[in-house]
Amino acid sequence: MQENKELLNNNNGNLGGINQLIQRLQKEDVRNLMTFKRFQVIFVVFIVFYGFVFVLNPFSDFELRYRITGICYVLAFVIFGLIFRKYYREYKSIDYSLPVADMLKKAAERYSFQYRNTWWVIPPLLLIDAGITISLFHRIAGFTTWERIGLVQLVYVPIMIIAFLIGVLIWYKRQKPLRDAALKLLDELLG
């Protein structure tokens, strides 16, 4: 029991004990919650805009390829919106009144690198890729079909890789220290 009191008052760690860790966790959780909420709104706007302009557009001279592009974008944005909604609900339901060990365990899980959940992102990224490829296909002249597709991929794939690496850097800088501190304090508390 005395060890638990000392742990709660410990100010030697990188994040300065359990109280400061909880404050930093709450701050990061609120930041993530607001980010997920903003992205939900952004994707709803994109869904309405692209749905109206590209899919439901009443103009008769609108080509089928643009409608297909719009459908790809709208489906991708719907999936992204659902992903952000899932995370918004998850962060909204965080409970800091749990016992310290349970709260630290959940925080460590929440801020672990979530590579296992990245497969959810693949279908909308492929839909956006298809939409971009279809919309740019006729604008790229002088190449075979596969060369046109390849040219689009030479731009799209590196952009997605760079975006992924930026996400990893953000996790490494902001969220990994929270996860590491939660695991360290959990080990001290339980061990």
Domain boundaries, the chain: 2-190
Find where tokens 């061990």 sit: 191
| Cα torsion angle, 66, 67, 68, 70, sign | positive
Residue 94 has pLDDT above 60, yes or no: yes
- Count, residues in the chain: 191
Contact 70, 53 (CB under 8 A): yes
pLDDT at 57: 75
pLDDT at 116: 65
Task: Convert the pLDDT of each residue in 165-179 to its tens digit.
Answer: 999 999 999 999 999
| Cα torsion angle, 159, 165, 169, 171, sign | positive
pTM of the model: 0.82
Angle at the Cα of 42 (from 64 to 27), degrees rounded to 5?
155
What's the whole-number mean pLDDT along residues 93-117?
A: 88
Q: How confident is the model at residue 11 (pLDDT cuts 50, 70, 90)?
A: very low
Residue 185 has pLDDT above 60, yes or no: yes
Lowest-confidence segment of 17-21, 22-26, 68-72, 90-94 by average pLDDT = 17-21
- Three-state SS for 105-169 is HHHHHHCCCCHHHHHHHHHHHHHHHHHHHHHHHCCCCCCCHHHHHHHHHHHHHHHHHHHHHHHHH
**What is the rounded distance in angstroms from the CA atom of residue 94 to the CA atom of residue 110?**
10
Task: Convert the pLDDT of each residue in 34-73 to its tens digit.
Answer: 999 999 999 999 999 988 888 777 766 778 888 899 999 9
Percent of the chain past pLDDT 70, that is, above it, reads: 89
- Three-state SS for 25-76 is HHHHHHHHHHHHHHHHHHHHHHHHHHHHHHHCCCCCCCCHHHHHHHHHHHHH
- First and final C-alpha spacing in the chain: 12
Q: How confident is the model at residue 140 (pLDDT cuts 50, 70, 90)?
A: confident
Q: 62 by DSSP, 3-state: which? A: coil
In single-letter form, the type of residue at position 56 comes to L
